Structure 1
Amino acid sequence: MPPKTLTKAEEQIMQVLWSVGKGFSRDILEALPQPKPHQNTVGTILKILQDKGFVGTNLVGRNHEYFALVSKEEYSKSSVKSLVKGYFDGSFSNMVSFFVKEKNLSVEELEKLLLQMKKQKK
C-alpha cells in the first residue's frame, strides 16, 4: 500500500511514469500536457515523489532515470478505499447507490458489475 496520497501535480507525474515505465526528467516534462510546468518544478515534484516512496531512480551517467515504485493498480486500489471510507461510511454499496442516484451508473452497467462479481466468486 502506498505510504501517502498524491497531490494533483504529483499524480500527473505518476501518470506519465505509469504510462512510459521509466524516464529522465526531460522525458517526463515532454510527456506532460500543456501548459507544461517549468523543468525545475518537475524536478522538485520528482524529489517529493521519491521522499514519499512512489518513485525510485537509477543514475545513468550524470542523470537520474526515474521509475515508479508503486503500481497504478496499487495506488488506485488505495485511493478508492480511501474515498469509500471518507465519503461513504466505508460502504461500497453506499458508493454504488450514490452513483445510481446521480445517474452516473446505468442499469446495464450495474448488471455488468454483478456479472463480473459472480465470475470472481467461482
Structure 2
Amino acid sequence: MKPTESEMEILQVLWEKGESSVRQVHEELNKKDVGYTATLKLMQIMLDKGIVSRDTSAKTHLYKAILSKEHTQHTFLDKMINTVYNGSTARLVMQALGNKRTSKEEIELIKEYLNTL
C-alpha cells in the first residue's frame, strides 16, 4: 500500500509525535491551512486502508501509524529509483548531491558511509 502525498504528511506527524488524536495531527497540519474535517476524513480513509490504527477505548480516539517510516521510505525510494532514474542509484545520488543543498557535514557523513560499504 502506497500512501498519497496528503497521507504522507499525516504519517510524518504520527512518526514524529507517536500516537495522536485527530486534533493533535490537525494542529500540526494547520500550519498548511488544512481544515479539521479534511484531516478527520483523510485519517478515516487511512484507517480503512490499513495505514493507521485507531484506539477507541477513550473518549478521544488515538491514531497510530501502522506503516513504519523505514519501510515507507524504502518503498518510495525504490519506486523513484526505478521510475525516475531508470533503476540507477548512482544517478539518484549524483542528482541529490548536485543540488547544492547538501551541507559539508552531510557530505562527510556520506563519505563515512561509503567507506564502510
TM-score (norm 1): 0.77
Residue 45 of structure 1 corresponds to 42
Structure 2: unaligned runs, 5 residues or longer: none
Deviations 1:22-48 (A, max 9, x none): 111111112224243222111111012
Deviations 1:28-87 (A, max 9, x none): 112224243222111111012122221011113343210011121221111111110110
Structure 1: unaligned runs, 5 residues or longer: none
Q: Quote the Cα distance in structure 2 between the aligned partners of 1:58 and 1:69.
A: 12
TM-score (norm 2): 0.80
Structure with higher strand content? 1
- DSSP-derived class of the 1:66 partner: strand
Q: Quote the Cα distance in structure 2 between the aligned partners of 1:43 and 1:68.
A: 15
Residue 55 of structure 1 corresponds to 52
Change (3 A) 1:29 1:102: closer
Residue 30 of structure 1 corresponds to 27
Change (3 A) 1:81 1:31: same
How many residues align? The count is 117
In the TM superposition, residue 109 of structure 1 has moved relative to its aligned partner by: 5.4
